[in-house]
């Protein structure tokens, strides 16, 4: 049996990722699309803050800004 580190990815919410790791079905969870839309995803997960919705149509565009660097961070008031 495999005894190394196992990473799962694809469609996980914060809650489902926590459950997956707690059950021992994975050692860590990958959040690709959510990270694109939430540059502060770790903080949002820590605070259980709302997430920005990603716009799939901007994932593979030639524009270096739209859909990659224009997603907002949490504002200071929501971090306390």
Residue 34 pLDDT exceeds 70: yes
- Give the residues across from 7 on adjacent strands: 28
**38, 47 in Cβ contact below 8 A?**
no
Segment 25-39 shows an average pLDDT of 95
DSSP string across 29-80: EE-HHHHHH-TTHHHHHHHTPPPPPP-GGGTT-S-SSTTTT-SPPPPGGGG-
pTM of the complete model = 0.82
Sequence spans of domains, the chain: 7-79
Band (65; pLDDT cuts 50, 70, 90): confident
């Amino acid at each position: 049996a495999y005894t190394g580190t196992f990473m799962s990815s694809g469609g996980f919410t914060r809650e489902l990722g926590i459950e997956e790791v707690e059950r021992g079905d994975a050692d860590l969870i990958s959040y690709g699309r959510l990270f694109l839309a939430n540059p502060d995803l770790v903080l949002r997960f820590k605070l259980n803050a709302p997430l920005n919705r990603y716009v799939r149509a901007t994932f593979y565009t030639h524009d270096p800004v739209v859909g990659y660097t224009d997603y907002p961070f949490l504002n200071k008031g929501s971090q306390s």
